Amino acid sequence: MSRPLPLHRGVSGMRNLSNSNDFWDSEVKDKTEKDDLDRNRASDQSYLSLRFPFRLLCPDNSPSKYGITENGFASDPFSVGSPRSRHKLTVLFLKLSLVVIVILALTGSFWWTLSISTLSRGHIFHGYRRLQEQLVLDLWDIGELSLGASRMKEIDFCPEESENHIPCFNISENLALGYSDGSEYDRQCGQGSRQSCLVLPPVNYKIPLRWPTGRDVIWVANVKITGQEVFTSGSLTKRMMMLEEEQISFRSASLMFDGVEDYSHQIAEMIGLRNESNFIQAGVRTILDIGCGYGSFGAHLFSKQLLTMCIANYESSGSQVQLTLERGLPAMIGSFNSKQLPYPSLSFDMLHCARCGIDWDEKDGIFLIEVDRVLKPGGYFVWTSPLTNVQSFLRNKEKQKRWNFVRDFAENLCWELMSQQEETVLWKKTSKKNCYNSRKPGSGPPICSKGQDVESPYYRPLQNCIGGTHSRRWLPIEERPTWPSRSNLNKNELALYGLHSEELNEDTTDSRTAVRNYWSLLSPLIFSDHPKRPGDEDPSPPYNMLRNVLDMNARYGGLNAALLEAGKSVWVMNVVPTSGPNYLPLILDRGYVGVLHDWCEAFPTYPRTYDMVHADGLLSLETSQHRRCTMLDLFTEIDRLLRPEGWILIRDAAPLVESARALTTRLKWDARIIEIESNSDERLLICQKTFFKKQAM
């Protein structure tokens, strides 16, 4: 990531660098022409000897006017003392001198090339890279133009049934293809899963309320849910909401909200803490909430500086993930059914399941093994379910059998049962690896081999072995620095990820500068003919202008760190592309949330999810690969993910940004290119998605 400096409006012209002629070749050419003119009356043999110097050693077999003997040797034409012989000797000397000059010139040029400085080589390589990028873009433009004017027109809107559509999730189609046992809910991204149209919002869609009001009140028309789904309960937190005319309220005057606070307080006491405000002191910062209802548990903990990521199955209506995201809280579609989650091993401090609908006793406990994989050493697993209620065992022997299986299996995973109160059970994962070797032979799942223990799987089949034990990141949560200190890793901690402290410090400094510049540009003034740069006199946008940001190429999580340091009320989904270096373990260990993702596939979330999308260096990363998708495919997906009037910030090489700018008109985005430093090879493309209102039929 290049260092961002103060931004300037406008687009500077592109400089075309040309190559200078070779100095030595020019000199030799001039010298040769001069000698040729001086020797224009020389013999034919001398002319041939000049063009082919080696023929002096290997003369022609053709007859000569100097005389050739029958045995093939020439009589000596250079008899000493004669004027003709002196002339011939002079010509021979000149020819030999010319050969020596050429050899010296080539040798000097060779050594001069070897002595080029490292900086010069860098400029040459940089120029070569720019030429490569320009070649790719030129070929792409040629391909676009060859398809005719029909490809250059604006992209059409999707039909109405696509307003909540997520590519790669089609349950009916998966069932028809033979998927079953829960795998029909998994992502199936085939070639036909891409969306080539723009998703319109629902008829009565309204811009979400700003944080923190929007956390507790959402517009009913913005999500797909029925009144019946509002009042029917699945999970504990689904019941903690009220329907009020055009809004759904999560801060009702009833005792429901107090129920979340009491529940969180109960979990803290089960750990041995005074209340949930002390979770951070116990090493808890990030929580994976499985089947999160509508996010009330995470919403309450957010004020305690705890970051809760909600995951749940895809639902066509009444989606837990969609409502949680509409509240401005972290969420994404995820499933335990058949594949591992797209998180590294040892990622979260706590996993929470409150009536989440998962039968942990099924499939020989393989779902519990996946919980163990993503849980950090010393982390906690909280399970709230009627199955754990001791009183129910007396009436239902089947429930007791299922509970006994989960309890015994957790023990074989080296989990400590810390507390059980009413319907809630809390386990603590072991902090010591030697616990696995001390188990009775044949009890519990085996430890994964190094080949099986993939630290960062990407929708890999579930493994029936204990993972994470080979990781260098095995460190109990109680031994890690508490939040927010854990976001600043020391030299020894960075070495676990193959990084030096200078690299992280540089990324942090660059991100701080970028955030200051970005924030001053989040104003519609940049799309007007306003004569001055936004931010010079106008007030800055409010701190809570954004609820969330999708960072499409997060690197080390620098943007996330800079936004928090600047006091912005925002959380960041840090995405690490599968096509680049994987620093997702580092991001999660710093106390942020993130996920691996292939940007040639649809992101596992609903339309209109994010307030801002940030892509720094993503275009360069994707074009350097032999990708199976185009820039237009990527931008169409960005449009689906972004809410109306949301922002897009794309920072990349100037030629790539210029091509991206050409696509924005097809997507109906307002866009402007901002110059970054007068001598920079990068540009910033800042866009705003237009709010197109669908007319009621």
Task: Output the DSSP codes for 207-226.
Answer: PPPPTTHHHHEEEGGGS---
Question: For residue 604, is the peptide bond before it cis, meaning its omega torsion is within 30 degrees of 0?
Answer: no
d(CA 400, CA 402): 5
Residue 504, number of CB atoms within 10 A of its CB: 24
Residue 40 pLDDT: 46
Residue 620 near residue 586, CB atoms below 8 Å: no
Distance, in Å, from the CA atom of 29 to the CA atom of 101, rounded to the nearest integer, reads: 12
- Asked if 386 and 424 count as a contact pair (C-beta separation under 8 A), the reply is no
Beta strands in 256-370 (DSSP E): 286-290, 307-312, 331-333, 348-354
Q: Which two tokens mark 280?
A: 């951070």
The strand pairing partners of 610, in sequence order, are: 642
Domain boundaries, the chain: 213-476, 485-528+540-689
Structural element, H or E, at residue 642 = strand 642-653
Q: Is the peptide bond before 531 cis (omega within 30 degrees of 0)?
A: no
Quick one: DSSP state of residue 358? -
CATH class of the domain at 485-528+540-689: alpha beta
Q: Which of 551, 580, 557, 562 is nearest to 648 (CA)?
A: 551
Residue 404's identity, in one-letter code, is N
Fold (topology level) of 213-476: Rossmann fold (3.40.50)
Which of these, 602, 672, 656, lies nearest to 633 by C-alpha position? Answer: 602
E strands, 347-494, are 348-354, 375-384, 415-421, 424-429
The helix (H) or strand (E) run that includes residue 242 is strand 242-244
Q: Are 670 and 648 in contact (CB under 8 A)?
A: no
Which residues, 6+ apart, have CB-to-CB distance to 252 below 8 Å? 240, 241, 242
Beta bridge partners of 612: 549, 647
What does each C-alpha distance from 236 to 232, 261, 317, 383, 426 come to in angstroms? 11, 13, 18, 12, 17
Contacts of 327 (CB under 8 A, 6+ apart): 214, 215, 216, 218, 250, 294, 295, 299
Whole-number pLDDT of residue 71: 36
Angle (CA) 94-98-99 rounded to 5° is 120
In one-letter notation, the amino acid at residue 543 is: Y
Residue 23: predicted pLDDT: 37
Which residues have a Cβ under 8 Å from the Cβ of 671 and sit 6 or more positions away?
527, 661, 664, 665, 685, 686, 687, 688
Q: What sign does the CA torsion over 106, 111, 114, 120 have?
A: negative
The closest of 596, 605, 600, 637 to 314, measured between CA atoms, is: 605
> Given this model, what pLDDT does residue 697 score?
52
Residue 688: strand pairing partners: 647, 670
Calpha distance 582→565 (Å, rounded): 24
In the Cβ-directed half-sphere of 523, how many Cα atoms lie within 13 Å?
A: 20
Give the pTM. Answer: 0.77
pLDDT of residue 79: 42
> Long-range contacts for 104-111 (Cβ within 8 Å, ≥24 apart)?
105/24, 105/27, 105/28, 106/24, 108/24, 109/22, 109/24
Radius of gyration over every alpha carbon of the chain, rounded to an integer in angstroms: 35
pLDDT at 107: 74
Name the β-bridge partners of 455: none
Given the structure tokens 């594949």, which residue do they identify? 339
SS in 3 state form for 166-189? Answer: CCCCCHHHHHHCCCCCCHHHCCCC
Compute mean pLDDT per 10 residues along the chain, 697 residues long, and list them: 40 35 42 47 38 35 39 39 67 81 74 51 44 50 46 83 85 66 71 78 92 90 81 51 78 53 94 94 96 90 94 88 94 89 96 93 95 97 90 79 95 96 95 92 90 90 94 94 93 92 93 89 62 51 86 97 92 95 96 95 94 96 81 95 95 94 94 80 93 70
Residue count of the chain = 697
Amino acid identity at 250: F
Instruction: Write down the number of H helices and E strands in the chain.
Output: 21, 18
> Which amino acid would we find at residue 657?
V
Q: What is the pLDDT of residue 414?
A: 96
What pLDDT is stored for residue 5 in this prediction? Answer: 38
- Strand order across the beta sheet in which 247-249 lies: 217-219, 247-249, 242-244
- 58 CB-contact burial (10 Å; exposed 0-12 / middle 13-18 / buried 19+): exposed
- Asked if 654 contacts 682 with a C-beta cutoff of 8 angstroms, the reply is yes
Q: Are 578 and 553 in contact (CB under 8 A)?
A: no
Indicate if 485-528+540-689 has the same CATH topology as 213-476: yes
Q: How far is CA 410 from the centre of its chain?
A: 35
